[in-house]
Amino acid sequence: MTHPTVATLAAWVATPRADGTTRHGIRRLFEDDPARFRRYSRRAGPILMDFSKTSLDDEALELLHQIAVESNVFGRRDAMIRGEPVNATENRAVLHMALRAKGGFTVGEEDASAEVAKTLAAMQAFTANVHSGRLVGATGKRFTDVLNIGIGGSDLGPFMAVRALWSDGCPMRPHFLANVDAHAWEALRPRLNPETTLVLIASKTFTTAETLLNATMVRGWLREALGQEDVSAHFVALSTNIPATSAFGVPVGQVFGFRDWVGGRFSLWSAIGLVIALSCGWAALAGMLEGARAMDEHFLTAPAEDNLPLLLALVEVWHVNGLGYTARAVLPYDNRLGRLPAHLQQVEMESLGKRIHLDGHPVGHATGPVVFGEPGTNAQHSFMQLLHQGTTPVPVDFILIARPDHGWADNHRMLLANGLAQSEALLAGRTLEDVHTEMAETGADAATIERVALHRVFPGDRPSVTLLLPHLDPVTLGALVALYEHKVFCLGALWQVNAFDQYGVELGKHLAAALLPEVASGAEPGHHDGSTAGLIAAIRGAWNG
Ligand SMILES: O=P(O)(O)OC[C@H]1O[C@](O)(CO)[C@@H](O)[C@@H]1O
């Protein structure tokens, strides 16, 4: 019998095993195999990945590995590191791994590694000059605050890292301005001293409308506050579009470039990461690069059965294509990882929210799920209800950090206990019989038990993966982020979609540009659907009082 593909996996999953059991159950797998945790967990460097709380068994895992072989996941990986244009629609190489490698990467004739080393050295020297006060603002004062203006990959990755690694005592105070909504700027402005604020304009293309408008607005603020036209000492640009940075007036020595083989959502390792070095110190960025490099090594050398990114991707295929689950939650049990779900949303959804096969035809299977998340324990007090008792299971990634960086041991114990309890509750559930017994023991009368008991049942058998890090620091964070990046690469290969373009963001940008004059001025509205036309009229009405 030919084995199933990604497209026919669901039919295979729906067929019971030879012994009549279904392929959804997880509890039963633990009953049958007390060593399941040992057999279904792996380590890569500091990261322990436990995927025993999924319904994968040996047969299913072997099948998924066969699909990976037929999808040529590792062959595609090797083409990627050779600098081939694996981003086929844009005809670009994909080499964010070169940003953290010690050397050896080329793209065509270009020595990518030499370029990376040069930029890193320039960034390090610049960081040292800012921290030492050799570089100062227009009025001669030292920079104390750094404001990163950027959006999407030019905001989310660096913001996530700074939130994870910054603490009092770090060299500079970090701030981020992404949204074109000036309420964000209004909230930020009172906290900034124009004399001591260094502004990074982070934009791969240097054409992103929101970023350019915000940068122009902030430059106007600086000019007015400092009473002078030339405020260029306060500006740094991080971009692939060097001519546009000059046109904006950023001094050449304050421009840090990178190449188009760095995708926006993978760019925090490039010049886009400068805010990490400025605010948290050079060692923070260097440590992240080191951790990511170690995960790259693992991805490139570990055999398929021990390869964490591939295994994480295979678990996702199992859930999305085998079991039909269309969402996944990421729950870091560490408040410092509060922006990790947002970063992963872009890394995963912008990469895998695709419907056209690499061969140019529509794919015949589901692709990227909705990704969402919040730090635990906060998540438990909001959307976890649906995960425990809703009609469709939502797989969870639990991210636990064993050792905290504070002395409040009771809090950390409670945090970890909660993380473990959530994954245990999703797996174990609670039966009607248990509910009856417990309610009777607590003195409930028969009528109350009858009325409420079913509402208190947890179906259980709901999957989760746990990633356990010994400690949160630049190295472990770098490894964690790189793990997810490589998982996305594997999924692109498994689903046979281009994980590196993002045409889906363009139509909205185009329409917004067309709508701009109609919303903001009295220009005659163009042709729109009835809803949009009605809303334009209502906005105009409200605006005009
Ligand atoms: O860095 P840029 O060119 O300003 O782009 C910002 C973001 O916009 C996008 O192109 C999507 O609109 C992302 O892919 C990117 O990270």
Which atom in ligand 1 lies closest to the alpha carbon of residue 208? 4
Q: What is the pLDDT of residue 524?
A: 83
Beta bridge partners of 239: 257
Neighbour tally for 196: CB within 10 Å: 17
Helix (H) or strand (E) holding 538: helix 530-543
Ligand 1, atom 7: closest residue by C-alpha:
152
Q: Note the pLDDT of residue 433.
A: 97
Cα(119) to ligand 1 centroid in Å equals 21
Q: What separation in Å is there between the alpha carbon of 467 and the centre of ligand 1? A: 29
Give the catalytic positions in this structure: 350, 381, 509
- Ligand 1 site-directed mutation target among 180, 205, 506, most atoms within 8 Å of CB: 205
| Relative orientation angle of helices 58-70 and 474-495, to the nearest 10 degrees | 70
Residues forming beta bridges with residue 469, ordered by sequence position: 401
**264 CB under 6 A from ligand 1?**
yes
Q: What is the mean pLDDT of each run of 10 residues along the chain (545 residues)?
A: 86 91 93 95 98 97 97 98 96 97 94 97 98 98 98 98 97 98 98 98 97 98 98 98 97 97 98 98 98 98 98 98 98 98 98 97 97 96 97 97 98 98 98 97 97 98 98 98 98 98 95 89 85 92 84
Our separate counts of H helices and E strands in the chain read: 22, 13
Ligand 1: residue whose CA is nearest its atom 16: 153
Q: 71 CB under 6 A from ligand 1?
A: no
For ligand 1, say whether the CB of 137 is within 6 Å of any of its atoms.
no
Query: Three-state secondary structure along 483-512?
Result: HHHHHHHHHHHHHCCCCCCCHHHHHHHHHH
Radius of gyration of the chain (CA): 26
Closest ligand 1 atom to 211 CA: 4
Q: Say how many Å lie between the CA of residue 148 and the centre of ligand 1.
A: 14
**pLDDT score of 19:** 87
pLDDT at 414: 98
Does the ipTM exceed 0.90? yes
Q: How far is CA 133 from CA 120, 421, 518, in A?
A: 20, 49, 47
CA of 251 to the centre of ligand 1 (A): 23
- Alpha carbon of residue 265 to chain centroid: 8
Q: What CA–CA distance (Å, rounded) separates 531 from 65?
A: 48
Q: Is the pTM of this model over 0.95?
A: yes
Does ligand 1 have an atom closer than 6 angstroms to the CB of 209? no
CATH fold group of domain 96-288: Rossmann fold (3.40.50)
| C-alpha 16 to ligand 1 mean position (Å) | 45
User: Which CATH architecture group holds 31-70+302-428+462-501?
Assistant: 3-Layer(aba) Sandwich (3.40)
Confidence (pLDDT) at 544? 82
Ligand 1 atom with minimal separation from the 150 CA: 4
Query: 45: Cβ–Cβ under 8 A, 6 or more apart, which residues?
Result: 291, 294, 295, 298, 479
Q: How far is the CA of 214 from the centre of ligand 1 (A)?
A: 15
What atom in ligand 1 is closest to the CA of residue 267?
Answer: 16
Gap between the Cα atoms of 355 and 496, Å rounded:
10
Nearest CA to ligand 1 atom 9: 152
| Residue 87 Cβ contacting ligand 1 at under 6 Å | no
Amino acid 18: pLDDT: 86
